[in-house]
A and B are shown apart, each in its own frame.
Chain A
C-alpha cells in the first residue's frame, strides 16, 4: 500500500490549498449580500482574495492546517493497517512540504516534534461498504473553530431548552451567539441531536462531509436547519464578528438515538476556511476522481 502515499499526499495538498466549489460559491454569495463599504464587506473581500491566492500558490488557505481527519469507505478485506501507515507517511511528507503546519503537540510534554504524527494524529475513520471502490475523504479542521464547539445537555434551564426540537433550536442558536466571530465566520454548523458525548461530537463532525446546498431528507431536521440558518443570519454577528449579514453559510443536523436519561445536542463549528476534499481510488491505488 505504499503506492497510496502519493495520492494521499495530493489529497492533503489540495484539501489544504483549495476550498471546495460548493463552499466558494456560498462565500461569493455572502460577499454579495454584505453592505458595500462596510468592514464586513472588506473582510469578505479579503477572504475571497485569500481563496484565490492559496489555490494559485498551492499553499495553505489558513496557517492552522488543523486536525487531520480521514474518512475511508472501503470494501471488506481492505488492509486498514497498511492504509494508516500510508496516511501517516503522507502526513509527514505533507508537513515537510509545508502543505501542513507543524501542528501537533505532545499534550504532556508540550513537545512539537514537527511531524504531525502522534497519538490521534492523523485520525482515520473506516467504514466498510459493499462496493469495490475506496473513497477517502479528508477534513482539516482548525483550532479556532474547534474551540467554539459546544455540547449541551437538555433540559437547560438557563436557556429554557426542553427535550424537544424547540429546545434543540435554542441551544444551537446559543452556540452561534457564544461563538460570535471567534470561530472565523461566516461558519458552517454540524450538529448531532442525541448520542452519547463522544458519538454526539463525532456525528456532528461527520455532517461536514455534506455539501452546503444539500437538503436534509428528514423533514423535521430540514426545517430546523433552514430555521437556524435564517435566524442566525438575522442576528447581525457577521463575518469575523464585525457585524453584518452573513453569520452562517450552512447548518447540517443529524440525529442519533440516545439513552432515556441523556439528551445531548453537540454542535461543531467549521470556519469559512472549510477544508474538505475526497478522492475515489481505483484498484491500483491512483486517483480516479475527486468527490467534491
Chain B
C-alpha cells in the first residue's frame, strides 16, 4: 500500500503506476457534474478553493448538520466519472490538478491530460459510502452550496488513509482500456 500524502507534488504523482493501491491523506475538494459544467463555461472558483497540486473528488455526499451546527458526512462514495470526460482534461490543465478520484474510469482526453500535465485517476470503490465517509476526518468548508445543492456543491474535506487504486497513470496507461480490450476479446470467443 502506497501512502499518498499532501503536498501532492508532480514527482509523487509521476511515480505512481496503474494497479498501485494507495491511501490518500490531506485535503480534497469534491466536484461533480454541475461544477465541471460551470468551470467549463468560464465560471470562477471561490478564491478559497485552490485546486493547484490538489485532488478533485467526484462525489456527492450525504451531509447533515449536527446540533452544534457542524457539518457531518454520513455517506461519501465516488460517483461515475465518465460524465465529466468532456470537461476533465481542460480542468486538469487549467487548474493544475494532480489527482482525480472517482469511479468507472475516464476516456482518452483525460488520459492524455494526465500524461501531459502530471495527474492520475484514482479509482475508489463505488458504493462504499460508509468506509469512505470514515476516512473523512473533517469538513473544512463548503462552496456554491446555495447554487448547486448539497450533492453538487464543492465540499472541502480533510481525508486520512482514503483507499483508492490508480487505474489511469501519468504515463498513458489505463486499466480501463486494458480490461475493456481483454473482456471484448473473451466475449468474441463466446458468442
Contact = CB atoms under 8 A, between A and B. Distances in A.
Main secondary structure of the interface of A (DSSP, over half): loop
Interface residues of A, number: 53
B191 A181 contact: no
Interface in B149-173: 149-152, 163, 165, 167
B111 to A, nearest CB: 15
A98 B62 contact: yes
A39 interface: yes
Interface string A167-195: 00110011001001110100000000000
B98 interface: no
B160 to A, nearest CB: 16
Q: Which of B21, B126, B129 has the largest count of A CB atoms less than 10 A from its CB?
A: B126
Given A50-B128, A63-B76, A182-B82, A103 B104 contact: no
Interface stretch (A130-138, A213-221, A239-247, A253-261): A239-247
A180 B127 contact: no
A187 to B, nearest CB: 10
B31 to A, nearest CB: 15
Interface in A230-273: 231, 234-238, 240-243, 271-273
B79 interface: yes
A54 B80 contact: no
B118 interface: no
B74 A60 contact: yes
A282 interface: no
A43 interface: yes
Q: Which of A50, A103, A236 has the largest count of B CB atoms less than 10 A from its CB?
A: A50
A54 B64 contact: no
A62 interface: yes
Contact of A114 (B123, B128, B149): B149
Given A60-B62, A242-B175, A114 B186 contact: no
A39 B75 contact: no
B130 A243 contact: no
B19 interface: yes
A234 B186 contact: yes
Interface string A98-113: 1001110100001110
Contacts of A74: none
A144 B126 contact: yes
Interface stretch (B2-10, B39-47, B48-56, B177-185): B177-185
Contacts of B184: 177
A236 B183 contact: yes
Given A143-B80, A235-B187, A241-B179, A46 B131 contact: yes
Given A63-B61, A63-B62, A236 B151 contact: no
A43 B75 contact: no
Given A63-B129, A231-B187, A243-B182, 13 more contacts: A53-B131, A59-B74, A61-B130, A102-B149, A144-B80, A177-B184, A180-B179, A180-B183, A182-B104, A184-B103, A184-B126, A242-B165, A242-B167
Interface of A: 39, 42-43, 46-47, 49-50, 53-54, 57, 59-65, 98, 101-103, 105, 110-112, 114, 142-144, 147, 160, 169-170, 173-174, 177, 180-182, 184, 231, 234-238, 240-243, 271-273
19 contacts: A39-B21, A42-B165, A50-B130, A59-B74, A60-B75, A61-B130, A62-B128, A63-B61, A101-B150, A114-B150, A147-B80, A173-B190, A177-B187, A180-B176, A181-B104, A235-B190, A236-B182, A242-B123, A273-B127
- For the complex of A and B, list the 3 residue pairs with the smallest distance between their C-beta atoms, beginning with the closest: A112-B149, A182-B104, A184-B126
